[in-house]
């Protein structure tokens, strides 16, 4: 079950926040994988991220403010840092100082903004020039297409428990009993084909379940393909006919060793969904809220440190997740290329 040693994967990208939540001229604090990070935008609007501590006395840079020249000014002594973390001004130094303040830096994290989502790269070690070893996640959209943010919520469990809950098919009928989804009386045998992907696995494209009411509002030739990639990203790509697509992505970002942030995003090329956005967003929040409710119960149960188990094909994806983590860590330790150990497989479960 959960791997307490090196729980959080390194040298990999994590979702930090929705692009709409990072406005020019503002600073946003986030804790990602035990790192306290400040996010901002430079004068051109490009996102950046720095360790959220002033190198001088350790005050959070997110407690400061953005100057007209784009620099961050610390609230304690007024030290200024640019988007690369380089110190640009120390007001207390006399004009004729010989100190080379450009050698003073706030640690910089690599950051990428794609489809209105902002991602941060968490390295094994913080160094002045971090080498990014992995490409940013594939969100299956062109650069001009943007996700809409549905919800952001904290799960009271570590990344392993959170991921297993995300990819577990057996809980759906019992946790997500809703008029718009399904009930415990609609159990059916499911047979799904899976294939490995570069950093995870996918459920091969198929017609969606007939006992899920949520799919029935989509008319025409509908098929869905579901992807999971480490460290904790699940993306469902629904094709509607030959022209339209609906994409839902759920990301899990470890805050620390005991809590995980879940973010839900949505994209649709169907005009009607834009008109119905607020009702759809409400349904999405209700769906996520059902998960959060059961995870609070799970967290209570885990206080007893119970013995846990994974049983049969319904729990196969959880076993795959642990296998992927193990091989990722080995590749990082040995400095070798990560190779997905999974094979194509067909799974059966009742839900």
Q: What is the chain's mean pLDDT, rounded? A: 90
Calculate what percentage of the chain has a pLDDT beyond 90: 72
pLDDT, tens only, 103-132? 999 999 999 999 999 999 999 998 888 999
Mean pLDDT of all residues in 181-198: 81
Query: Does the pLDDT at position 251 exceed 50?
Result: yes
pLDDT for res 208: 81
Contacts (Cβ under 8 Å, ≥6 apart) of 249: 139, 147, 233, 234, 235, 236, 264, 265, 266
- In this predicted structure, the answer to whether residue 316 has a pLDDT above a threshold of 60 is yes
What pLDDT score does 243 carry?
A: 85
pLDDT at res. 81 = 98
d(CA 103, CA 257): 33
DSSP H helices, 253-315, are 271-275, 277-302
Q: What is the Cα–Cα distance from 73 to 67, expressed in whole angstroms?
A: 7
**What is the predicted pLDDT for the residue at 183?**
58
**In the predicted model, is pLDDT for residue 217 greater than 60?**
no
Q: Give CA–CA dist 281/123, Å, rounded.
A: 34
Residue with the larger pLDDT of the pair 39 and 183: 39
Give residue 218's pLDDT band: very low, low, confident or very high (50, 70, 90).
Answer: low
Residue 257 phi/psi, 5° resolution? -80, -5
CATH assignment of 148-350? 3.90.380.10
Report the chain's terminal Cα–Cα distance, integer Å.
23
Report the candidate in 319, 285, 328, 140 with the shortest Cα–Cα distance to residue 226.
140
Q: How confident is the model at residue 2 (pLDDT cuts 50, 70, 90)?
A: very low
Binned at pLDDT 50, 70 and 90, residue 211 comes out as very low
Q: Give the integer Cα–Cα distance in Å for 88 and 94.
A: 14
* pLDDT recorded at residue 184: 58
Stretch 52-62: mean pLDDT: 98
User: Average of pLDDT values for 139-146?
Assistant: 93
Domain locations in the chain as residue ranges: 12-122, 148-350
Mean pLDDT of 186-213: 85
Report the percentage of the chain scoring pLDDT > 70.
Answer: 92
Q: Is the pLDDT of residue 225 over 50?
A: yes
Res 172: pLDDT = 78
Residue 289: predicted pLDDT: 81
What class does CATH assign to 12-122?
mainly beta
40/22 Cα distance (integer angstroms): 7
Same fold, 12-122 and 148-350: no
The mean pLDDT of 136-145, rounded to a whole number, is: 93
């Amino acid at each position: 079950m959960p791997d307490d040693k090196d729980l959080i994967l390194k040298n990999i990208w994590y979702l930090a926040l929705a692009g709409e939540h990072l406005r020019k001229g503002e600073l946003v604090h986030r804790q990602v994988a035990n790192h306290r990070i400040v996010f901002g935008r430079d004068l051109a609007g490009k996102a950046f991220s720095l360790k959220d501590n002033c190198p001088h006395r350790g005050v959070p840079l997110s407690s400061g403010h953005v100057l007209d020249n784009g620099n961050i000014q610390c609230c304690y002594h007024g030290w200024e840092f640019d988007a690369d973390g380089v110190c640009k001004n120390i007001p207390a130094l006399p004009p004729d100082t010989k100190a080379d303040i450009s050698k003073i830096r706030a640690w910089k994290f690599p950051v990428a903004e794609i489809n209105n989502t902002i991602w941060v790269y968490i390295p094994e070690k913080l160094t002045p020039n971090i080498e990014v070893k992995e490409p940013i996640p594939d969100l299956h959209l062109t650069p001009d297409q943007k996700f809409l943010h549905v919800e952001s919520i904290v799960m009271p469990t570590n990344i392993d428990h959170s991921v297993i809950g995300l990819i577990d098919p057996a809980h759906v009928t019992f946790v997500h009993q809703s008029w718009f989804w399904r009930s415990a009386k609609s159990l059916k045998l499911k047979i799904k084909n899976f294939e490995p992907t570069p950093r995870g696995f996918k459920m091969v494209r198929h017609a969606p379940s007939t006992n899920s009411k949520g799919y029935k509002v989509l008319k025409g030739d509908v098929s869905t393909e579901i992807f999971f990639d480490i460290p904790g990203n699940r993306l469902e790509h629904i094709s509607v006919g030959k022209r339209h697509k609906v994409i839902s992505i759920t990301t899990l970002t470890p805050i620390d060793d005991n809590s995980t942030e879940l973010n839900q995003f949505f994209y649709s090329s169907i005009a009607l969904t834009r008109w119905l956005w607020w009702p759809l967003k409400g349904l999405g929040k209700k769906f996520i809220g059902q998960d959060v409710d059961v995870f609070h119960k799970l967290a209570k149960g885990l206080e007893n440190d119970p013995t846990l188990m994974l049983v049969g094909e319904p729990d196969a994806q959880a076993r795959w997740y642990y296998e992927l983590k193990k091989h990722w860590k080995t590749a990082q330790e040995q400095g070798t290329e990560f190779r997905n150990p999974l094979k194509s497989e067909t799974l059966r479960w009742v839900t």
